[in-house]
Structure 1
Amino acid sequence: MTLATTPARGSLLVVPLLAGGLVMIALGVYGRAHTPTGFAIGIAGFSGALAMKAWLTTGAAVLAIVQVLSALSMWGRLGVTIPPAVHRWSGRLAFLLTIPVAFHCLYALGLQYDVLRVMIHSLLGCFFYGVFTAKMLALPRKGLPGWTFPLLGGAVFVALVGLWLTSSLWFFTTFGVKV
């Protein structure tokens, strides 16, 4: 690969990154413009909305660790072979676990910036879905630079861990471990 081909390969990322940026902005604008309802929807047997969100986010974070390990295996960096299906399905399940959490956050709470922890959490949520969108749109593209998926996947992981730290960890240390 020469330097002359690098910009052309990098340009394949323009559409996925623009789409991801639009998702981030759209979620932020909706979260700010929408009048929060203040109540939970469908907490599915949990004691409350915060417990539901804390446990679903914890499940997604555990699956994100599986994502990192299986990605390292696919790239030959782990020393053991984990089937690619493990990576695909752990990612799908992790994403599905985030949907009710995000829905509740946007619908019931909106994007908030009064408390630093909550502001960081709100911005990380928008970033998570934006970078996830970019990664998913980049996957079918051939000829991308080798750093594309480690960078995008790493950003998704860091955002999810940040979401867990600013929500689930806060919940478990503030209210205790309860369902």
Structure 2
Amino acid sequence: MSNVDPHAPTVSFPSPVRGRGRPGAARWIVPALVAVAVAVALGAYGRIHDPAGTAFNLAGFSSTGAVKSWLATGAFAFALAQVVSALALYGRLPGVLAAPWMSTAHRWSGRVAFLLAVPVAVHCLYGLGFQSFDSRVMWHSLAGCLFFGAFSAKMLLLRAERLPGWLLPVVGGLVFTVLTVAWLTSALWFFRTFGVTT
């Protein structure tokens, strides 16, 4: 004798739908490969390019090094603002509630940081090239290339869907970390060596 109630509704479970559920590895691998390609391409160009010595200068500054150092400091300051706004948006700042304007401030601080970093990179790659004659210069060259590679990966990941919640903060932290290393080994070194000068 069966224990199944003949009046109970039948329940059917849907078959798995392809493309749903866990995100495919390509969502992470493609941005990672792009990051590596960008970093290697910049490093290779900087290594094989014959340095021109200078790429630009701005009126009011005493040297190209001063221009580069102040632009890099501006990029670092806006990147720091982006990190703080991200922590607030993720609820990681004790006692700080994310205001409605913080997401806009977060996006624009990142854009301004990137725009300030571009002429610095142009000067480094075109004017100086990828150099490694001492440890400070080597770390600066590596960090500069890694920054643009990691930034490229972050921009691609922002457009992806169904990413793990930890991925963007980790990549954003990596972008900020390599930018910090680049700033410490260039702008801060310049100011400590030659003084805070324009």
**TM (normalized to structure 2)?**
0.84
Contact 1:9/1:145 (8 A) holds in 2: no
SS of 1:104's equivalent in the other structure is: helix
> What is the Cα deviation at residue 80 of structure 1?
2.3
SS of 1:94's equivalent in the other structure is: helix
2:15 aligned residue = none
Cα root mean square deviation, aligned: 1.3
State how far apart, in whole Å, the 2-side matches of 1:39 and 1:84 are: 37
Q: Deviations over 1:4-38 (max 9, x none)?
A: x66x4443111111111100010010000110011
Residue 29 of structure 1: which of 44, 58, 80 is its match?
A: 44
Structure 1: gaps (5+ residues): none
Residue 80 of structure 1: which of 97, 102, 110 is its match?
A: 97
Contact 1:63/1:94 (8 A) holds in 2: yes
Provide closer, same or farther for how the CA distance between residues 44 and 14 of structure 1 changes in structure 2, counting only shifts above 3 A: farther
1:107 aligned residue = 126
Contact 2:72/2:116 (8 A) holds in 1: yes
**TM (normalized to structure 1)?**
0.92
Task: Return 152-161 or 45-54, whichever deviates more.
Answer: 45-54
1:177 aligned residue = 196
Structure 2: gaps (5+ residues): 1-20
Residue 34 of structure 2: which of 15, 19, 29 is its match?
A: 19
Q: Which amino acid aligns with 2:177?
A: V
> What is the Cα deviation at residue 43 of structure 1?
3.0
